[in-house]
Structure 1
Amino acid sequence: MAVNMAISRIKREFKEVLKSDEITQCAIKLELQNDSFTDLRGEITGPPDTPYENGTFLLEIHIPETYPFNPPKVKFITKIWHPNISSVTGAICLDILKDSWAAAMTIVSTYQWKFST
């Protein structure tokens, strides 16, 4: 039952992401991997006036069966230097992906931090 709830919520959020302003501005992309709503690939573009400008950065996103009560696991596939990103694993080190996660947060919440420090 929990898996069905997680998949249902992910499908709804996926549709919302596809309609979001960030998508229409091409700042973020999100796609399914192997037709699975629990394994996603993300892409974000480096914001203007930052060292990441014009860069394209790929992310791997795994949604646990206990979503939305537990956060997605997100890591960079593209090598990047950033104080909130592990240089070894690519894992994003932010409270919203750990202790500060709340069930009201969404997949888009994981994107909204972008490259701010």
Structure 2
Amino acid sequence: MAAKMRLTKELKNIQKSPVLKASGISVYLQCDSDLLVWNANIPAPKGSLYEGANFKLEIYFSERYPFEPPKMIKFQKPIPYHLNVGQSDGLVCIGLLKPDQWDPAASCMENVLASILAALAQPQTDSFVDDDVNNTYIHNRSSYQERARRSVKI
């Protein structure tokens, strides 16, 4: 019950957020009767490796939200080649979502979405998902950048 009350409030705040609106981010319920599953559209930031792409995310919450971070946030196709995104499943890994960094009083989905947007412009090197992607990022940045650009080309 507390999760649904908090999520209702956060969804309304996100839909009114001037910062997220200016970034083009939109959030909606996957099913009107289920507050625990959201979808989000996030356009890639201008000047990023993914510029021009529009990403769709699925966001899943547990009944323990906000005392726990969202259960899962994942990119739908196309899955960007990115340090903070699982290549096989699209799962997002950023610092704010780690249980030891999640603060129920201060953390909210508006901040999470803003962090994902920021990570698209500048990956969070301390929260990489895939060792191979991380090695490419560290040792062959031009290859990483090319693969990132290609991952979202239609």
**Counterparts of 2:31 and 2:7 in 1: how far apart (Å)?**
15
**Counterparts of 2:93 and 2:21 in 1: how far apart (Å)?**
27
Deviation at 1:22, TM superposition (A): 3.5
Give the counterpart letter for 2:8 in structure 1: K
Q: 42, 45, 55: which is aligned to 1:44?
A: 42
* Residue aligning to 1:106: 108
Q: 13, 17, 23: which is aligned to 2:14?
A: 17
Deviation at 1:77, TM superposition (A): 0.8
- Structure 1 segment 1-117 matched on structure 2, within 5 A: 4-25=1-22, 27-35=24-32, 36-72=34-70, 73-78=72-77, 79-99=79-99, 100-104=101-105, 105-113=107-115, 114=117, 115=120, 116-117=122-123
* Residue aligning to 2:146: none
Matched length: 114
Runs of 4 or more, structure 1, over 3 Å off, are none
SS of match in other structure, 1:68: coil
Unaligned runs of 5+ in 2: 124-154
**Counterparts of 1:48 and 1:34 in 2: how far apart (Å)?**
31
TM-score, normalised via structure 2 length: 0.70
TM-score, normalised via structure 1 length: 0.91
Give the counterpart letter for 2:60 in structure 1: H
Unaligned runs of 5+ in 1: none
Deviates more, 1:20-29 or 1:94-103: 20-29
Task: Compare the two structures and name the one with the higher strand fraction.
Answer: 1
Give the counterpart letter for 2:102 in structure 1: W
SS of match in other structure, 2:74: strand
Task: Compare the two structures and name the one with the higher helix fraction.
Answer: 2
**Counterparts of 2:57 and 2:73 in 1: how far apart (Å)?**
7
Deviation at 1:107, TM superposition (A): 0.9
